[in-house]
Structure 1
Amino acid sequence: MADEELQIEDAGGKKGKMMIIIIIVLVVIAGGGAAYFFLFAGDDPVAQQRTESGDAAGAAGSEDVMEEGGDAQMGSALYVAIPQPITFHIPGGGRERTVQIKIQLLVRGTDNEETAKVNIPLIQGALLRVFSSSNADDLVTEAGKIELREKALEEVQEAMRKYTGKDVVEQVLFTGFVMQ
């Protein structure tokens, strides 16, 4: 009789351990699935650009419009990311500062998108000229950042006009701004 009770207790202990292991495995799988969902289920930029440019299967026609002052066709808004953040040193307030800016360019239509992508080094050079001529004391304020962005847009448009004959970039957007 004592042997039977011992066997029942051992069997109960094995079932309890097995349940704990199963619960741990299920929690790990659920956590991994949740992590995958949150990391990889965001907006797909490639698919988003396809739908914005009208390349998706369900798109009914294109929304191209004529530019008021010229004959260039303007399409939907597309964003071209500068591959690497631009890092530069500027003087200010008693010591030199390091600034790093992540940039995206707003262009209209796939033709302008391709032109901007081909001319990334030209655009980076124009941006670096503008950024390196700035002052750290000005970049501390929001007004200084807006002024820098406007100067960057003018310089990029001027460089693109010189080499391609048209305004390719509509806006220069700062998606990251760090000053140390």
Structure 2
Amino acid sequence: MNKKIIIIAVGVVVLIAAAGGTWFFMHEAEPVPVAVGADGKPVGDAVITKKEPMYFSMAPSFVVNLQNERGIRFLMVEIDLMSRKDDVFSRIEQYEPRIRNDLLMLFSKLDRDAIATAEQRQGLQSEALVAINKVLTSESGKDGVEAVYFTKFVIQ
């Protein structure tokens, strides 16, 4: 009876060791981010931590007439911007009239069919992001807005 218990215990230990060994050798380790210098090469053993996002509201709302509509249709969009860089929002405030102009021109070219689906609205978000960063780059030499969020999107 004692022999059976010992054999079963040894078998269980071997199975646990085999499972642990398999997991150890098959498990991929998480990559550790490292700081990168201007030359693109790692700098020391410093770990990069992402800075907390900051948000900027483009108030007031953007309101435009939609194109090719039988009746009068309006689009109202409220936009919030996200960045992790400290100086971006001061530059946005400085160039806000041009940014608002370019966004109004972008939105005023739309018709209802161009913004009917969620995918089309996401495409519009991408176009708005490009337009904003284009103004920042042409005026100050650097962009910095990472995301555009539509916090209100109303078609009436």
Point out which structure has higher relative CO (alpha carbons under 8 A, 6+ apart): 2
Query: Residues of 1 paired with 2:107 and 2:86: CA distance?
Result: 28
CA displacement at 1:161 relative to structure 2: 0.7
The number of aligned residues is 113
Matches within 5 A, 1:6-155: 75-92=51-68, 94-155=70-131
Q: Give the TM-score taking structure 2 as reference length.
A: 0.63
* CA-atom RMSD in angstroms: 2.5
What's the % identity of the aligned pairs?
A: 26
Query: Residues of 1 paired with 2:117 and 2:57: CA distance?
Result: 25
List structure 1 segments (4+ residues) > 4 angstroms apart after TM superposition.
65-70
Q: Residue 66 and residue 78 in structure 1: after superposition, are their counterparts in 2 closer, same or farther (change >3 A)?
A: farther
| Residue of structure 2 equivalent to 1:176 | 152
> How far does the alpha carbon of each residue in 1:120-157 deviate from its partner, in whole angstroms, 9 at most, with x for none?
22221121111111221121211221111111111111
Q: Residue 120 and residue 68 in structure 1: after superposition, are their counterparts in 2 closer, same or farther (change >3 A)?
A: farther
Q: Residue 90 and residue 107 in structure 1: after superposition, are their counterparts in 2 closer, same or farther (change >3 A)?
A: same
Query: Residues of 2 paired with 1:66 and 1:95: CA distance?
Result: 56
Q: Give the TM-score taking structure 1 as reference length.
A: 0.56
Q: Report the secondary structure of 1:131's partner residue.
A: helix
Q: 1:93·1:137 contact (CA, 8 Å) conserved in 2? A: no
> How far does the alpha carbon of each residue in 1:19-55 deviate from its partner, in whole angstroms, 9 at most, with x for none?
xxxxxxxxxxxxxxxxxxxxxxxxxxxxxxxxxxxxx
Segments of 5+ residues of structure 1 without an aligned counterpart are 1-64
| Residue of structure 2 equivalent to 1:43 | none
Q: Residue 68 and residue 124 in structure 1: after superposition, are their counterparts in 2 closer, same or farther (change >3 A)?
A: farther
Q: 1:116·1:168 contact (CA, 8 Å) conserved in 2? A: no
Segments of 5+ residues of structure 2 without an aligned counterpart are 1-34, 41-49
Q: Which has the higher helix share?
A: 1
Query: Residues of 2 paired with 1:67 and 1:76: CA distance?
Result: 21
